[in-house]
Chain A
Amino acid sequence: MDTVFDVERIRKDFPVLSRELPGGRPLVYLDSGNSSQKPFQVIETMREHLAVHYANVGRAMHVLGAESTEAYESAREKVAAFVGAPSRDEIVFTKNASEALNLVAYAFGNPINEDPRFTMGPGDEIVISEMEHHSNIVPWQLLARRTGATLRWFSVTDEGRLDLSDLDELVTERTKIVSIAHQSNVLGTVNPVARVLERVRQVGALMMLDASQSVPHKAVDVAALDVDFLAFTGHKAVGPSGIGVLWARAELLEAMPPFLGGGEMIEAVWMDRSTYAPAPHKFEAGTPPIVEAVGLGAAVDYLSSVGMDAIAAHERELTRYALEALGEVPGLRVVGPTDLEDRGGTVSFTLDGIHPHDVGQILDDEFGVAVRVGHHCARPLHLRFGIPATTRASFYLYNTPAEIDALVRGLHHVRKVFA
């Protein structure tokens, strides 16, 4: 992208960024890792679909039904292109990344799935990591309990990197699936997918990526990554909530059993049995989140028009600036990599002797700075670092260095209150 990245122009696309908070404070939104704000292009596309194109999809034999179906399916095509999927039929719409992860976990050890890649029982192993979001932990715990398989995990180094020292002992012929975050939602760490995948292929296992924190922020190409499954969610990528995505290789989707049963996922139904529609519809039972899917289509259009490489470069500069500025705050400790190598724009930290809830409250209330405080749905990672919670600032295309200055000013004030 040779175009100049004009953050002020981008900010004008996001109506919420120009609103005032009670008391006349400006909004400093540093919580995009939690959920991003929406540009008017997305809001307008969704409004217009609801206003003049809305009908159910895939079944209505009238103009609106055709327009709605066309919009829904073209959103699928946009998403496929956005993540480099070879076919739009490899894009399954879910309600969020959690559902996408659960859908895949459900395919294993399932009596109606006889494909050997998906059989699972005692002696088989599932490998995740200590830095996962709960949504990439709990579905696998449930799977292990259902099937008697063993759940194992990579540990995390003191620097917040995936510890690959025991890669060969952890990923073995017993491993059926390895599922890890592409980018940590707490540490910002970008994981070395290729190295893990090489071992996964050696042992004949499958690999899934939770890409909720990477797809919104940089160019992600599933063909280049060469993994088997990838999940992400719309609301972190300037799209609406209620829509998520599972990408999987076509042959795997074909082998996998349906997840939810219902309308639109069938081919033919008798009273005692059914046959199923081909993927992706096999996994989209019931009326889908139509307007949300259309909104996600507009979101990836928007991101593409700005340019994913330009967004990544902008966030990299913000992260560099933030790591430097935060380093000057006494008593502040960054949890995660303090260099820019394989790292995204999410910075979590602790402040000596001050609980993150108190940090977050004062930042919000006095400075209009919105950060996330707590364990960020990654409790095991916090346990590993021996801390109950962190304060997390996460950046996106619309953030500015001045907003990081506001965060730092706020942190100095927090320290004064609790001195």
Chain B
Amino acid sequence: MIAESMYQELILEHYKHPQGRGLRDPFDAEVHHVNPTCGDEITMRVRLGDGDKVEDVSYDGQGCSISQAAASVLHELATGSTVGETLAVVDEFTRLMQGRGQVEPDEDVLGDAVAFAGVAKFPARVKCALLAWMAYKDALARSAS
């Protein structure tokens, strides 16, 4: 009965209808991340504009509902936001995921990403949720350098 709370409606919605999926040009950095334990993978591109604005986050990949939905939610949250704001969300999301289900999520910071709170109780699935988010962080670092 626990998994039901992991498979929130919002996660299933994003899995079935991913937002912003597909790799787009132009971009400032592209990264490819894999989760070797389960074979999930993601290719992610970021395009930055003036004033640290995140113009686009585009991605393609394969994997379970958790990893693919996390990429879709990330796309929605990050596109149109700023690097600084999104890094704050990444930090809060990482804190939530690594909190073994003991962390009270900050909904104001996380927005829709709060739907992943249930995943934190499943150590084997935390990496699935974090795959896209870690790729995004990596892509930001590369586009800055």
Chain A interface residues toward B at CB < 8 A? 23, 354-358, 361-362, 364-366, 373-375, 379, 382, 388-389, 417-418
Contacting residues, chain A, for B62 (C-beta < 8 A): 388
**A-side contacts of B7, CB under 8 Å:** 358, 362, 417
Kindly supply a per-residue 1/0 record for chain B positions 20-56, scoring 1 wherever the CB is within 8 Å of any chain A CB and 0 otherwise.
0000000000000000011111000000000000000
Is the C-beta of B19 less than 8 angstroms from some C-beta in chain A? no
CB–CB B39/A374 < 8 A? yes
**Interface contact A374-B38, CB-CB below 8 Å:** yes
CA distance A379 to B34 in the complex (A): 14
How many residues in B have their beta carbons less than 8 Å from beta carbons of A?
Answer: 23
Provided the pairs A357-B128, A417-B7 are in contact, do residues A388 and B122 lie with their beta carbons within 8 angstroms? no
In the assembly, what is the distance between CA of A379 and CA of B39, in Å? Answer: 9
Q: Are the C-beta atoms of A374 and B64 separated by less than 8 Å?
A: no
Q: Are the CB atoms of A23 and B1 closer together than 8 Å?
A: yes
Do A374 and B1 touch across chains, with their CB atoms under 8 A apart? Answer: no
Whether B3 and A418, one on each chain, are in contact in the complex, defined by CB atoms closer than 8 angstroms, is no
B109 to chain A, nearest CB (A): 27
Given contacts A355-B63, A375-B39, A417-B12, contact A366 B1 (CB under 8 A): yes
**Contact partners of A356 in chain B: CB under 8 A:** 64
**Residue pair A365, B3 in contact (C-beta under 8 Å):** yes
- In the complex, B125 has a CB within 8 A of chain A: yes
Query: Whole-angstrom distance from the CB of B130 to the nearest CB of chain A?
Result: 14
A-B contact pairs, 29 of them (CB 8 A): A23-B1, A23-B2, A354-B65, A355-B65, A357-B38, A357-B40, A357-B125, A358-B7, A358-B64, A361-B3, A361-B6, A361-B125, A362-B7, A364-B3, A365-B1, A365-B2, A365-B4, A366-B1, A366-B4, A373-B38, A374-B37, A374-B39, A382-B39, A388-B39, A388-B63, A418-B12, A418-B15, A418-B16, A418-B65
List chain A residues, Cβ under 8 A from B39. 374-375, 379, 382, 388-389
Name A379's closest neighbour in chain B (CB-CB): B39
| Neighbouring A residues of B64 by C-beta, 8 Å | 355-358
B16 CB contacts on chain A under 8 angstroms: 418
- A416 → chain B closest CB, angstroms: 11
Complex contacts, A389 vs chain B, CB 8 Å: 38-39
CB neighbours (8 Å) of B2 from chain A are 23, 365
B126 to chain A, nearest CB (A): 12
Complex-state Cα separation, A417 to B11, whole angstroms? 12
For A357, the chain B residues whose CB sits under 8 A away are: 38, 40, 63-64, 66, 125, 128
B interface, CB within 8 angstroms of A: 1-4, 6-7, 12, 15-16, 37-41, 62-66, 68, 122, 125, 128
Residue of B nearest to A355 (CB): B64
CB distance from B145 to the nearest CB of A (A): 31
- A23, A355, A362, A366: residue with the most chain B Cβ atoms closer than 10 Å: A355
Q: Which A residues are in CB contact (< 8 Å) with B66?
A: 357-358
The CA of A94 and the CA of B108, in the complex, are separated in Å by 55
| Alpha-carbon distance between A336 and B116 when the two chains are bound, in angstroms | 35
Q: Is the CB of B128 within 8 A of A366?
A: no
B69 to chain A, nearest CB (A): 10
The interface residues of chain B lying within 8 Å CB-to-CB of A366 are 1, 3-4
Most buried by A among B15, B41, B64, B125: B64
Q: Which of A356, A362, A365, A379 has most chain B Cβ within 10 Å?
A: A365
| Complex Cα spacing A374 to B64, Å | 10
- Nearest residue (CB) in A for B128 is A357
CA of A379 to CA of B40, assembled, Å: 12
Q: Please indicate the chain A residues that have their CB under 8 angstroms from the CB of B1 in the complex.
A: 23, 365-366
Q: Please name all residues of chain B whose beta carbon is closer than 8 Å to the beta carbon of A375 when the two chains form the complex.
A: 39
Give Cα A373–Cα B38 distance, bound, in whole angstroms.
8
> In the complex, A364→B41 CA distance in Å?
24
- Residues of chain B with a CB closer than 8 A to A354's CB: 65
Q: How far is the CB of A155 from chain B (nearest CB, A)?
A: 21
Please name all residues of chain B whose beta carbon is closer than 8 Å to the beta carbon of A355 when the two chains form the complex: 63-65, 68
Given the known interface contacts A23-B1, A366-B1, the answer about A358 and B38 at a Cβ–Cβ threshold of 8 Å is no
Measured between beta carbons, the chain A residues less than 8 angstroms from B6 are 361
Neighbouring B residues of A382 by C-beta, 8 Å: 39
3 tightest CB-CB pairs across the interface, nearest first?
Answer: A365-B3, A357-B64, A355-B64
CA distance A373 to B2 in the complex (A): 19
Given contacts A355-B63, A357-B38, A358-B66, 6 further A-B contacts (CB under 8 A): A355-B65, A355-B68, A358-B7, A361-B122, A365-B2, A417-B12
Whole-angstrom CA separation of A364 from B39 in the bound complex: 20
CA distance A382 to B39 in the complex (A): 11
Separation in Å of the B62 CB from the closest CB of chain A?
6
CB of A417, distance to nearest CB on chain B (Å): 6
Chain A nearest CB from B42 CB (Å) reads 12
The residue of chain A having its C-beta at the shortest distance from the C-beta of B65 within the complex is: A358
- A-side contacts of B40, CB under 8 Å: 357, 388
